[in-house]
Structure 1
Amino acid sequence: MTDPVPVAVPRKGRPLEAVLERLASTAEADHLVDEISATLRYEKAVTKDRQTPDRDVYERLADYSDLADPTAPEYTLLRDDREGKPRRIVFDSAVVECDGVDLHLVGREEPFRALRTHEFALGFDSADLVLEEVVGLREEGLEDLSDVNARIDPRDTDVRVVTGLGDTVYHTLMATPETLPAGADLDRAFVADYEGPLCISPRYERLVEAVLGTDAIEGTTFAYPDPGEEEEAAIARAGLGVYLTVTGSTARDEGLVLGDHLFPSETVLMENAAESSAAVERALDRLTAEPLETAIEV
């Protein structure tokens, strides 16, 4: 048996769910993927106070992790952001067979950075982090994943995006009716002509600059939600903003008009070409063998 190929994955959240769903459709050990998914769904429900466990966190952790089996799922404890910083059980490690290739899934807080520092050749993370960290800022905006690699300076990182997994939500323009003149379209051209506050989440400042382009945001000033304030409410207060949305129902509740989907927020498969090997390329072939949502030139 050859050594499993290490693959960095998120420890929790939507990107990890997307990876597990993808592997469940391609891996012979789909029962293992289902087990991991079910465990994490339960622990998320505990975190959200939708489930009341009958054992403490250490007992559950011991029950989930079989240290005698090196291929079995393992979990770990993290402090999360809830009041009091309680411990939360998250994914740590598992070996999954994918069409004849063993993948060692290894949990990381930020898999993209683990690839950047050459700890891994392959990994999954949110496309947002790539935009926040390495995509170059230009006058014109960035519209989809297929353009990301062309914006990465090869002197900055060897990591490239291979494909998106299709778990897409969008960074979407939102505005109050008072900000948007009658008959006007809420799109990139509107932002380019607009002068005033543009409300965003603080972490997305560089991402929004890359997506809209530096020309379009001239004349705007970034505004941010107050502590504890919902993003949609803050955008309603500012008049114009960008935020992630799926259905837009919360935005409409705030009286906001939904405009262009600017950029997909999606889980992506990435490769650090400098760490490639024959085993890594076999794993990459398996991971991209089935039709995927987004094909990208590397």
Structure 2
Amino acid sequence: MTDPVPVAVPRKGRPLEAVLERIATVASDDRLDRLADGVSNTLRYEKAVTKGSVDADEGPYERLAEYSDPTTAAEPEYTLLRDDRDGKPRRIVFDAATVDLGDVTVKLVGREEPFRALRTHEFALGFDSADLVLEEVVGIRGGGLGDISDINDRIDPVDTDVRVVTGLGDTVYHTLMGREDRRRPGETYDRAYLADYEGSLCISPRYERLVTAVLGTDALDGVEFVYPEADEEEEAAIARVGLGVYLTVTGSTAREHGLAVGEHLFPSETVLMRNAAETDDSVSRVLRALEREAPDSEIRV
């Protein structure tokens, strides 16, 4: 493995911020705190520009030149991509940064899909959302998932050499929720409720495999997945259907739709992953450097 050791990371958003926070936490260098704050603030501003909520004084190429210093390894680099929003506007995203973690140097390399970059053996280490692992490689069984460690037990080694090492604790939950006015006194929307339930369950189409893996096929016997209509808010769709699974932090907007927030089913969390086929001493040093007292990554059952 080369030095610095390349590590695949997301290019933007909450997962990238979680990675930078972990890097800053395990290192004793104040520069990494400044790196984390600087990259996060820059990308939040660029997101606002892309959404049209902020007007930039300069064009994207001028801002890109201002942000990036490719001649200095210790400074972050950025790049331009086409965003998925209408009109496909240019968006400035994270590209790379070199960080010193004591006895090992790491090069964080931005990728649109870090998990898939590990699957194709481009990287030995990387960070990405645990959701993608469940959506792509976790096996479907009768019983649901219990915690992060169960993910590896469900991965068929024939499918991939990638394994989850730990979660970073930047948790947003896939949560079961249903109409408040249909809930009996003392009743909770949880796995036990779902085990006796027959009917429609509203979810986002992209999460069908994830929800099936987390709940298990036994609990979904007699349950039919239905989806929000075009341009319909997910909470509104769940209120229309009566029961659903939605990604939420506090559930405040769900309550505005008359929904009772039930059990947290699975944490949508950024995870550190490794490709077991690409392991060597330098990879082990990076893993040791990234260790700290882990947050509670338990999937609440």
Tell me the TM-score normalized by structure 2. Answer: 0.93
Q: Distance in 2 between matches of 1:68 and 1:259?
A: 51
Q: CA 1:254–1:137 in structure 2 vs 1: closer, same or farther (change >3 Å)? A: same
Q: Distance in 1 between matches of 2:207 and 2:119?
A: 20
Pairing 1:166–2:173 present: no
Q: Distance in 1 between matches of 2:297 and 2:208?
A: 27
Contact persistence 2:164–2:271 (CA under 8 A) = yes
Specify the alignment match of 2:135 in structure 1. Answer: 132
Specify the alignment match of 1:51 in structure 2. Answer: 54
Q: Distance in 1 between matches of 2:81 and 2:232?
A: 25
Pairing 1:207–2:210 present: yes
Q: CA 1:149–1:121 in structure 2 vs 1: closer, same or farther (change >3 Å)? A: same
Q: Distance in 1 between matches of 2:103 and 2:53?
A: 38
Q: What SS class does the counterpart of residue 26 from structure 2 fall into?
A: coil
Pairing 1:152–2:155 present: yes
Specify the alignment match of 1:12 in structure 2. Answer: 12
Contact persistence 1:195–1:219 (CA under 8 A) = yes
Q: What is the alpha-carbon root mean square deviation over aligned residues? A: 1.6
Specify the alignment match of 1:116 in structure 2. Answer: 119
Specify the alignment match of 2:281 in structure 1. Answer: 278
Specify the alignment match of 2:21 in structure 1. Answer: 21
Q: Which amino acid aligns with 1:293?
A: P
Q: Which amino acid aligns with 1:73?
A: P
Q: Distance in 2 between matches of 1:216 and 1:125?
A: 28
Q: Which amino acid aligns with 1:37?
A: S
TM-superposition CA deviations, 1:135-188 (whole Å, max 9, x none): 111101113212111111112111111111010111100101344334322111
Specify the alignment match of 2:237 in structure 1. Answer: 234
Specify the alignment match of 2:290 in structure 1. Answer: 287
Q: Distance in 2 between matches of 1:77 and 1:199?
A: 36
Q: Distance in 2 between matches of 1:176 and 1:103?
A: 48
Q: Which amino acid aligns with 1:24?
A: A
Q: CA 1:60–1:71 in structure 2 vs 1: closer, same or farther (change >3 Å)? A: same
Tell me the TM-score normalized by structure 1. Answer: 0.94
Q: Distance in 2 between matches of 1:169 and 1:68?
A: 37
Q: Distance in 1 between matches of 2:183 and 2:21?
A: 40
223-232 or 115-124: bigger deviation: 223-232
| 1:172-191 alignment runs, 5 A limit | 172-191=175-194
Q: Which amino acid aligns with 1:241?
A: G
| 1:239-258 alignment runs, 5 A limit | 239-258=242-261
Pairing 1:262–2:277 present: no
Q: Which amino acid aligns with 1:246?
A: V
Contact persistence 1:146–1:294 (CA under 8 A) = no
230-239 or 41-50: bigger deviation: 41-50
Give the CA deviation at 1:294. Answer: 4.6
TM-superposition CA deviations, 1:267-290 (whole Å, max 9, x none): 1000111001111110110011x2
Q: Distance in 2 between matches of 1:17 and 1:176?
A: 34
Structure 2 residue ranges without an equivalent (≥5) = none
TM-superposition CA deviations, 1:14-67 (whole Å, max 9, x none): 100100111122232313333222221221232343432110111101111222
Q: What SS class does the counterpart of residue 42 from structure 2 fall into?
A: helix
How many residue pairs get aligned? The number is 294
Pairing 1:219–2:222 present: yes
Q: What SS class does the counterpart of residue 282 from structure 1 fall into?
A: helix
Specify the alignment match of 2:105 in structure 1. Answer: 102
Q: What SS class does the counterpart of residue 170 from structure 1 fall into?
A: strand
Contact persistence 1:26–1:99 (CA under 8 A) = no
Contact persistence 1:126–1:266 (CA under 8 A) = yes
Specify the alignment match of 2:3 in structure 1. Answer: 3
